[in-house]
């Protein structure tokens, strides 16, 4: 049994029960759960289903969007996400921190807001034993999705908190280009909450949000990044998380078979 975890987004639209079933059928030992399909299924029933399945839950995706204008709403929603993470027994809650507020060009201000909301949430997470996982996002998403743009920047933030409370996500799609990657992954020892893989493909698909490729279809050297992550002491599951319209349109069994094959060939952990 390898460490492949199927992130639900890779089989977008399949629903929680089918995603769990497909993991079992393909011998995949872990799942990355998304909140929307969990809510759709019903949180209590969903927790029961996932816990009963014997699958490890490598993450809950996702909390965050700390830069939204209504701070009270942001805090409430993220507290709910922390509760769901605890209920699922998930390894971490992945945080996509949010982009610039609408109409704002104050990047430094948005980043400061992220720091401040994180500080407010951290004690709540600590009390519930939940690990918050800051996800640095590719700079292509800086304006509209995530002002956290490098692993180094994520670690600067994370290090203001205990490693058991705030960690980081290493997602190959977001960090593969970073000239400082080796040094920052080494620095992340004890802070790597999640390791996610998908490929960077060119030409970039027209919808930047769905620009991710199946491992082997693009330019990422997965072994090189995996070696860094393993050398930094990460021993957890490896989530395959792929936003890709073509993959989503294909038959789910075929998609999962493809992902499993490519994982074995290009990642191999």
Q: Which residues bind its own copies (CB under 8 A)?
A: 100, 105-108, 111, 138-140, 142-144, 149-150, 152-153, 176-180, 200, 202-204, 206, 208, 218-221, 224
For its own copies, which is the closer residue by CB, 195 or 200? 200
For its own copies, which is the closer residue by CB, 72 or 108? 108
Tally of CA atoms within 13 A in the half-sphere of 245 that contains its CB: 8
For its own copies, which is the closer residue by CB, 144 or 253? 144
> Residue 119 contacts by C-beta under 8 Å, 6 or more apart in sequence?
160, 161
For its own copies, which is the closer residue by CB, 144 or 254? 144
What is the residue-wise DSSP string for the chain? Answer: ---EEEEGGGGTTS-HHHHHHHHHHTT--EEEEEHHHHHHH-HHHHHHHHHHHT-EEEEEEEEE-TTSS-HHHHHHHHHHHHHHHHHHT-S-EEEE-B-PPTT---HHHHHHHHHHHHHHHHHHHHHTTPPEEE----GGGTTTTBS--SHHHHHHHHTTS-TTTEEEEEEHHHHTT-TTHHHHHHHTTTTEEEEEE-EE-SSPPSSGGG-EE-TTSSS--HHHHHHHHHHTT--S-EEE----HHHHHS-HHHHHHHHHHHHHHHT--
Find tokens 């499993």 and name the residue. Answer: 260
Distance in Å, CB of 21 to its own copies, minimum: 34
Distance in Å, CB of 218 to its own copies, minimum: 7
Distance in Å, CB of 94 to its own copies, minimum: 20
Distance in Å, CB of 54 to its own copies, minimum: 36
For its own copies, which is the closer residue by CB, 47 or 215? 215
Distance in Å, CB of 176 to its own copies, minimum: 7
Residue 102 structure tokens: 């609408």
For its own copies, which is the closer residue by CB, 177 or 249? 177
Distance in Å, CB of 201 to its own copies, minimum: 8
For its own copies, which is the closer residue by CB, 72 or 206? 206
For its own copies, which is the closer residue by CB, 152 or 163? 152
Nearest Cα neighbor of 173 from 142, 136, 148 is 136
Distance in Å, CB of 206 to its own copies, minimum: 4
Distance in Å, CB of 204 to its own copies, minimum: 5
């Amino acid at each position: 049994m390898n460490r492949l975890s199927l992130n639900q987004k890779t089989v977008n639209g399949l629903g929680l029960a089918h995603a769990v079933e497909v993991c079992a059928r393909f011998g995949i030992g872990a799942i990355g759960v998304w909140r929307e399909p969990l809510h759709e299924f019903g949180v209590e029933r969903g927790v029961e289903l996932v816990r009963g399945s014997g699958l490890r839950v490598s993450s809950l995706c996702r909390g965050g969007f700390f830069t939204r204008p209504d701070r009270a709403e942001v805090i409430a929603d993220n507290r709910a996400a922390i509760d769901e993470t605890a209920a699922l027994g998930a390894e971490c809650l992945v945080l996509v921190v949010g982009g610039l507020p609408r109409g704002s060009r104050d990047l430094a201000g948005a980043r400061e807001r992220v720091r401040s909301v994180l500080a407010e949430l951290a004690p709540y997470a600590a009390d519930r034993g939940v690990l918050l996982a800051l996800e640095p996002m590719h700079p292509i998403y800086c304006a509209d999705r995530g002002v956290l743009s490098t692993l180094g920047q994520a670690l600067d933030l994370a290090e203001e908190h205990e490693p058991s409370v705030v960690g980081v996500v290493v997602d190959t799609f977001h960090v593969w280009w970073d000239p400082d990657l080796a040094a920052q992954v080494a620095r992340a020892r004890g802070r790597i909450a999640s390791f996610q893989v998908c490929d960077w493909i060119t030409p970039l698909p027209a919808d930047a949000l769905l620009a991710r490729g199946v491992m082997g279809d693009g330019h990422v050297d997965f072994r090189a990044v995996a070696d860094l992550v393993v050398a930094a002491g990460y021993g957890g599951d490896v989530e395959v998380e792929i936003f890709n319209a073509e993959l989503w349109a294909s038959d789910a069994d075929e998609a999962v078979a493809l992902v499993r094959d490519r994982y074995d060939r290009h990642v191999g952990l």
